[in-house]
Each structure stands twice: as structure tokens, then as C-alpha cells.
Amino acid sequence: MRNTTLMTVLGACALLAACGKSGEADTTATQGSAPAAASQAAPPEPTAEEKQALLASLPAPYNTGDLANGKAKFGMCRSCHTIVEGGANLTGPNLYGVFGRKVGSLPGYNYSEAVKTAGFTWDAEHLDKWLAQPRTFLPGTKMTFPGLKAEKDRVDLIAYLKVETGYKAP
Ligand code: HEC
């Protein structure tokens, strides 16, 4: 099942900044160092099929999430958040691995007191409330995002985040 054709792997890689970087390294690196660069690269991004399988395995209503719409809605977050593994903290913290992570706990990111002391672990339910109205859900947060009002958009965005941020079903 995990074996994929080269085409699929390349297709998934085209979506990934990290793959782009290793592509650059391949063209600019000397022959001797190119294999070393490849071996240090992150494990391969899940393929499109694996993402669909993960989506289907999510509890309702997330299993019916529209990943294309979720990706489009993530456009509202992108200026402040990266989602790839090891991605930079921007105005907001990197969101890779956010599901199952204690709120306000990413090392090296300077959270507000409100978020640092909130004391829960991120799951779909908390994220849904947060994204609907961050400043009502956690008063004092410095995330200046007004909220995503349409429930279906939040479902799609959360499904997209689960598929893209390394979430593993418990
Ligand atoms: C204008 C910048 C900005 C935008 C846009 C934004 N965020 Fe944030 N986000 C932040 C900041 C700043 C924090 C840290 C909040 C704090 O410490 O009070 C944060 C925190 C978070 C956290 C908590 C992370 C943790 O480690 O506990 C999540 C989850 C999150 N944002 C998701 C989103 C999503 C999803 C979107 C898009 C719908 C979004 N954010 C849009 C700036 C932003």
C-alpha cells in the first residue's frame, strides 16, 4: 500500500517547499554532496492517496471535509503560520503537529499569557471553537484573526490541517 509510483511521489513533492529545496540542492550541489543532502531530507510527504485515506478515517464530520476548500481557507492563515514540519514561526507559531500538542507549548515561540496558561490539548473540537472566534474563546490572545464564521469552512479547514500537519489517528 505504501509503495507508490514515481509519478505520485513527484506529484506530492511538487506541493512541498522542502522537496523544492532538495531539488535545488540537487542541481547546485556537487555530485559528492548530493546524496548526503538527500539522506538528511525529511521523510517523504504522504502521497495524495495516503491523504485521502487519512481523510476518510477521520471521525465525522471531518471525514467529509473538502480538502480543496480547506486549503483555500488556509490562505487566511498563511501570512502568519507555516504548516510544514520544521517550518518557521512567523507572526504565529508553526502548526505542524498541532493536534495532540498542548496549547501554547511550541518551544521557541513567545505566546501570550492567555494561550500559554490555557491548559488544554489541541483537538478538532478546541480548534473549531478557536477558529470561530479566537478572541472570545481565549480572551487576551494576540492572534488578531477575526474568526471563520461558516461552520462548513471550519470543518474543511480542520480536515485539511489534520491531513497536512502530521496528525496520526490515535
Ligand atoms: C495575523 C496573524 C494570524 C493569522 C491570520 C492567524 N493566526 Fe493563528 N496565531 C497567531 C498568533 C500571533 C498566535 C499566538 C497567539 C497567542 O500567543 O496569543 C496564533 C496561534 C494559533 C494557534 C495556537 C497554536 C499553539 O501552538 O497553541 C493555532 C492553532 C492557530 N493560531 C491557528 C490558526 C489558523 C488555522 C488560522 C487561519 C484560519 C490562523 N491561526 C490565523 C497569528 C495569526
The partner residues of 107 in beta bridges, in order of sequence, read: none
Give the structural domain span for 2: 1-45
Claim to verify: residue 113 and residue 127 sit in the same structural domain:
yes
Claim to verify: residue 123 and residue 157 sit in the same structural domain:
yes
Claim to verify: residue 85 and residue 33 sit in the same structural domain:
no
pLDDT digits (tens, 9 = 90+) for 119-132: 999 999 999 999 99
pLDDT digits (tens, 9 = 90+) for 60-76: 999 999 999 999 999 99
Claim to verify: residue 41 and residue 51 sit in the same structural domain:
no
Residue 170 within any structural domain of the chain? no
d(CA 145, CA 163): 22
Q: Is 131's C-beta closer than 6 angstroms to any atom of ligand 1?
A: yes
Q: Given a cut of 50, is residue 115 above it in pLDDT? A: yes
Q: Given a cut of 70, is residue 35 above it in pLDDT? A: no
The CATH number for 133's domain is 1.10.760.10
The pLDDT-based confidence of 136 (bands split at 50, 70, 90) is very high
Contact 117, 104 (CB under 8 A): yes
Contact 118, 91 (CB under 8 A): no
Claim to verify: residue 76 and residue 157 sit in the same structural domain:
yes
Q: Is 124's C-beta closer than 6 angstroms to any atom of ligand 1?
A: no
Q: Is 118's C-beta closer than 6 angstroms to any atom of ligand 1?
A: no
Which of 99, 126, 143, 154 is the pocket-test mutation for ligand 1 (most atoms within 8 Å of CB)? Answer: 143
Claim to verify: residue 73 and residue 153 sit in the same structural domain:
yes
Residue 78 within any structural domain of the chain? yes
Claim to verify: residue 9 and residue 64 sit in the same structural domain:
no
Beta-carbon contacts of 9 under 8 Å, excluding residues fewer than 6 positions away, are 44, 47
Residue 129 within any structural domain of the chain? yes
